[in-house]
């Protein structure tokens, strides 16, 4: 009997904010309970830690140049054709083809806005861009039940479009978005019988900014903490303007995290109440994290661990054993892995990701050892407002990031994550950096990636610095 699939994605929820990990000073009792009784994946990362690119890879298992989402989707990037390409298969469309009843609730952020969306949706923001958009029924990529919006940052006054609603027929709600969307999900789940499995994705916008748009009942929980109590990572430059700003943000960010945790608890309770013979697999994750003062930065779209690392919990009593998995899972891996959790082995050949479901369903000591040859890709593409671009590889133990500046050339960073987990000691001249650079160059060539910094990276690490390719080489997939 195929299981139900319930995916919860909380925007900008960094891995360190899971209370069970003991990193950030935040309370997440419901998520901790799911992690303790399910599988906690400790090596989940975002290949491109910003909303739209990760979401497109998450749904399709395809690299950005294949799925069309090389940048965040908004009115400016839409001028360059950025947006999820028509007709692409997703894990939802494949599950629907296998008899699943599919649904999507919450933030979508993959539809290029049109001129009409400025009036119908959130409107034009202070940055001059339109981010919110209505998604036509033909562009919902396998999701039948639909209660969603594009990208509107109004957590306390959200709006939505239902499956049959036209662009100018939105539903406006006077309630915290995470709570309201959980209400919709709980009601939807309760109304489904067990005759066929369901696959539902709930995409919550909090703890994404605006950080102060969180109910007062959560805000007081962290108000009394000082800067060093809030920002415990040693790569935060305490006592600076950046750390003061980060501390002010952190109080509300952690409040929203705790609020999201409460909604996950409500969902888990609804699944338990529903009962039935068919198990439900709950997958909790995010699209990226945020810096929150680490390295003097606030937000994301950088290769540091605070942005790249993702929370990932997979929970289903009787199906998923309690334990941890240290196998590396990246943005491209989620689509085939979700299919694997559903017991569906067929996939589109364009899916570049790996099916990690066996590791999550085993959570054994052998799995915890992982595979040291695994690597996760890091990507960043140039935009009109930022011409730089980057490529990198992250293994369980190390990371190399190469950033190309058209006017200034190549910047290189290399970190040994076991020795230096907070990435304060970059050593791009290490022999190990040359090995990882060699693997990155081979990946660029195998995937025909036309990254502008490729030749500069090759020049920085000539073959004389690299141990012969068959020795210690890092394997990467061709996507």
Secondary structure letter of residue 393 according to DSSP? E
Secondary structure letter of residue 405 according to DSSP? E
Cα gap 310→18, rounded to integer Å:
10
| Protein fold of 376-465 | Arylsulfatase, C-terminal domain (3.30.1120)
Name 342's Cβ contacts closer than 8 Å, sequence gap at least 6: 2, 3, 5, 95, 98, 100, 197, 199, 281
Enclosing H/E stretch for 199: strand 198-204
Give the pLDDT mean for 239-256: 96
List helix spans (H) across 349-394.
357-362, 365-369
123 neighbors 151 (Cβ within 8 angstroms): no
pLDDT band at 437 (very low <50, low <70, confident <90, very high): very high
Give the pLDDT mean for 398-407: 97
Secondary structure letter of residue 328 according to DSSP? -
Cα gap 362→38, rounded to integer Å:
11
pLDDT band at 462 (very low <50, low <70, confident <90, very high): confident
Nearest to 145 by CA among 205, 194, 204, 187: 187
Opening angle at CA 328, ends 323 and 331, nearest 5: 115
Q: What is the pLDDT of residue 446?
A: 86
* Neighbouring C-beta atoms of residue 42, cutoff 10 Å: 19
Residue 211: HSE in the Cβ half-sphere, 13 Å Cα cutoff = 19
Give the pLDDT mean for 141-166: 97
Report domain extents, the chain. 4-369, 376-465
Give the pLDDT mean for 358-376: 64
Cα gap 330→376, rounded to integer Å:
6
Nearest to 440 by CA among 416, 466, 422: 466
Helix, coil or strand: residue 119? helix
Span 292-325, pLDDT tens digits: 999 999 999 999 999 999 999 999 999 999 999 9
Cα gap 366→375, rounded to integer Å:
18
In the predicted structure, residue 55 carries a pLDDT above the cut 70? yes
pLDDT band at 374 (very low <50, low <70, confident <90, very high): confident
Give the pLDDT mean for 278-282: 96
pLDDT band at 241 (very low <50, low <70, confident <90, very high): very high
pLDDT band at 466 (very low <50, low <70, confident <90, very high): low
| Protein fold of 4-369 | Alkaline Phosphatase, subunit A (3.40.720)
Helix, coil or strand: residue 212? coil
pTM: 0.94
């Amino acid at each position: 009997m195929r299981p139900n699939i319930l995916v919860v994605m909380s925007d900008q929820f960094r891995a360190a904010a899971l209370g069970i990990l003991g990193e950030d000073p935040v309370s997440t009792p419901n998520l901790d309970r799911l992690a303790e009784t399910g599988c906690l994946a400790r090596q989940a990362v975002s290949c491109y830690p910003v909303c739209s690119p990760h979401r497109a890879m998450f749904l399709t298992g395809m690299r950005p140049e294949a799925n069309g989402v090389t940048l965040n989707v908004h009115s400016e990037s839409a001028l360059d054709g950025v947006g999820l390409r028509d007709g692409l298969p997703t894990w939802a469309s494949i599950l629907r083809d296998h008899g699943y009843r599919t649904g999507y609730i919450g933030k979508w952020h993959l539809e290029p806005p049109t001129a009409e969306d400025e009036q119908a949706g959130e409107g034009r923001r202070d940055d001059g861009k339109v981010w919110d958009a209505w998604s036509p029924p033909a562009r919902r990529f396998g999701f039948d039940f639909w209660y969603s919006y594009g990208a509107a940052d109004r957590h306390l006054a959200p709006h939505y479009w239902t499956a049959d609603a036209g662009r100018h027929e939105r539903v406006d709600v006077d309630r915290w978005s995470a709570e309201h969307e959980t209400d919709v999900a709980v009601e939807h789940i309760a109304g489904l019988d067990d005759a066929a499995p369901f696959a539902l994705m709930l995409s919550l916008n909090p703890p994404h900014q605006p950080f102060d748009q969180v109910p007062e009942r959560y805000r007081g929980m962290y108000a009394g903490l000082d800067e060093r109590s809030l920002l415990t990572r040693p790569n935060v430059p305490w006592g600076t303007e950046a750390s003061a700003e980060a501390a002010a943000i952190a109080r509300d960010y952690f409040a929203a995290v705790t609020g999201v945790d409460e909604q996950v608890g409500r969902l888990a309770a609804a699944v338990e109440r529903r009962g039935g013979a068919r198990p439900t697999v709950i997958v909790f994750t995010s699209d990226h994290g945020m810096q929150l003062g680490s390295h003097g930065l606030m937000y994301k779209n950088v290769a540091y661990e605070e942005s790249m690392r993702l929370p990932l919990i997979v929970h289903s009593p009787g199906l998923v054993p309690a334990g941890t998995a240290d196998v590396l899972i990246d943005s491209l891996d989620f689509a085939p892995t979700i299919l694997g959790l559903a017991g569906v082995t067929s996939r589109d050949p364009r899916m570049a990701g790996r099916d990690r479901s066996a590791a999550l369903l085993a959570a054994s000591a052998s799995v915890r050892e992982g595979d040291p040859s695994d690597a996760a890709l890091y990507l960043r593409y140039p935009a009109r407002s930022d011409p730089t671009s980057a490529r990198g590889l992250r293994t369980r133990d190390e990371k190399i990031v190469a950033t190309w500046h058209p006017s200034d050339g190549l910047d290189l960073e290399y970190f040994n994550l076991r020795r230096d987990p907070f990435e304060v000691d970059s050593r791009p001249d290490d022999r190990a950096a040359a090995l990882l650079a060699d693997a990155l160059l081979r990946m660029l060539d195998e995937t025909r990636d036309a990254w502008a910094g490729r030749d500069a990276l090759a020049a920085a690490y000539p073959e004389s610095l690299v141990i012969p390719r068959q020795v210690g080489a890092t394997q990467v997939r061709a996507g």
